[in-house]
Structure 1
Amino acid sequence: MSRFRLYPTPTQHAALLEQCGHARYVWNLALEQWSMWTRDRAPTPGFTEQCRQLTEARAASDWLRVGSQTVQQQALRDFAQAVRNFYTGTHRRPTWRKAGVHEGFRIVGAQASRIVKLNRRWAKVLVPKVGWVRLRLSRAVPNSKSYRVTCDRGGRWHLAFAAVPPPIPAPGTGEVVGVDRGITVSAALSTGELLACPGLSETEHARLKRLQRQLARSRRCSNRHERVQAAIARLHARVADRRKHWVEETSTDLARRFDVIRVEDLRIPQMTRRPKPKLDPERPGNYRPNRRRAKAGLNRGILAHGWGLLVQRLEDKAPGRVERVKPAYTSQTCAVCQHCAPENRKSQAVFRCVACGHQANADVNAAINIAAGQAVSARRETPPGVSPKREPQLTTSA
Structure 2
Amino acid sequence: MSVRQRLYPDPGQLVGLRKHADDARFVFNLGLEQRSFWRREKHTRGTHAEHGSLDATPITLGTQMRELVQLRAALPWLWAGSSSVQQGALRDLDQAFANFYAGRAKYPAFKRRDDRAGGFVVRDIFVRRLNRRWGTVTVPKIGRVRFRITRSWADITQATSARVTLRNGRWHIAFTTPPAERTLSGTGAAVGIDRGVRNTLATSDGRMIQAPSLTKVEQARFLRLEQRLARQSRKDGGSRRRQVTLDQLAVLRRRLADRRTDWIEQTTTHFASTYDQVAVEDLRVRNMVRRPAAKPDPAQPGVFLSNGARAKAVLNRSILASLWGRFLTRLEHKMGSARVARVNPRNTSRTCAACGHCAPGNRESQAVFECEACGHQGHADTNAAAVILGRALDSISAAGHAVPGRRSPALAGSANQSDP
Report the Cα offset of residue 282 of structure 1. 4.0
Pick the aligned partner of 2:357 from 339, 345, 364. Answer: 339
Pick the aligned partner of 2:145 from 126, 129, 133. Answer: 133
Q: Can you give the 5+ residue segments of structure 1 that lack an aligned partner in the other structure? A: 376-398
Q: Is the 8 A contact 1:123 1:136 kept in 2?
A: yes
Please, which moves more after superposition, 359-368 or 217-226? 217-226
Q: Is the 8 A contact 1:167 1:316 kept in 2?
A: no
Aligned length: 371
The 5 Å alignment of 1:302-317 reads 302-317=319-334
Q: Can you give the 5+ residue segments of structure 2 that lack an aligned partner in the other structure? A: 48-55, 394-420
Q: Is the 8 A contact 2:24 2:85 kept in 1?
A: yes
Q: TM-score normalised to the size of structure 1?
A: 0.88
Q: Is the 8 A contact 1:243 1:305 kept in 2?
A: no
Pick the aligned partner of 1:145 from 160, 180, 184. Answer: 160
1:125 is paired with a residue whose SS is strand
1:246 is the counterpart of 2:260: no
Please, which moves more after superposition, 160-169 or 82-91? 82-91
Pick the aligned partner of 2:370 from 321, 327, 352. Answer: 352
Please, which moves more after superposition, 176-185 or 240-249? 240-249
2:172 is paired with a residue whose SS is strand
Q: Quick one: distance in 1 between partners of 2:285 and 2:250?
A: 25
Q: Quick one: distance in 1 between partners of 2:226 and 2:104?
A: 38
Please, which moves more after superposition, 154-163 or 132-141? 132-141
Q: Quick one: distance in 1 between partners of 2:344 and 2:206?
A: 21
Q: Quick one: distance in 1 between partners of 2:287 and 2:62?
A: 39
Q: Quick one: distance in 2 between partners of 1:129 and 1:88?
A: 36
Pick the aligned partner of 1:43 from 24, 46, 57. Answer: 57
Please, which moves more after superposition, 320-329 or 252-261? 252-261
1:79 is paired with a residue whose SS is helix
Alpha-carbon displacement from aligned partner over 1:340-365 (angstroms, at most 9, x marks no partner): 22222122111122222221111111
Flag the 1:46–1:102 CA change in 2: closer, same or farther, 3 A.
Answer: farther
1:107 is the counterpart of 2:108: no
Report the Cα offset of residue 48 of structure 1. 2.7
Q: Is the 8 A contact 2:28 2:90 kept in 1?
A: yes
Question: Which residue identity lines up with residue 155 of structure 1 in the other structure?
Answer: G
1:16 corresponds to = 17
Please, which moves more after superposition, 245-254 or 192-201? 245-254
Two-structure CA RMSD over aligned residues (Å)? 1.9
Q: Quick one: distance in 2 between partners of 1:73 and 1:80?
A: 11
Q: Quick one: distance in 1 between partners of 2:285 and 2:57?
A: 36
Report the Cα offset of residue 130 of structure 1. 1.8
Report the Cα offset of residue 193 of structure 1. 1.0
Q: Quick one: distance in 2 between partners of 1:190 and 1:297?
A: 28
Report the Cα offset of residue 175 of structure 1. 2.3
Q: Is the 8 A contact 1:177 1:190 kept in 2?
A: yes
Q: Quick one: distance in 2 between partners of 1:372 and 1:43?
A: 56
Q: Quick one: distance in 2 between partners of 1:89 and 1:290?
A: 29
Alpha-carbon displacement from aligned partner over 1:214-273 (angstroms, at most 9, x marks no partner): 113222222222321332233223222222221122222212222221111111111111
Flag the 1:172–1:7 CA change in 2: closer, same or farther, 3 A.
Answer: same
Pick the aligned partner of 1:226 from 237, 240, 243. Answer: 243
2:69 corresponds to = 55
1:208 corresponds to = 222
The 5 Å alignment of 1:226-375 reads 226-319=243-336, 320-373=338-391
Q: Quick one: distance in 1 between partners of 2:273 and 2:330?
A: 13
Flag the 1:281–1:94 CA change in 2: closer, same or farther, 3 A.
Answer: closer
Q: Quick one: distance in 1 between partners of 2:101 and 2:293?
A: 29
Percent of aligned pairs sharing the same letter? 46
1:396 corresponds to = none
Please, which moves more after superposition, 217-226 or 363-372? 217-226
Report the Cα offset of residue 102 of structure 1. 5.3
Q: Quick one: distance in 2 between partners of 1:268 and 1:329?
A: 17
Which is helix-richer, 1 or 2? 2
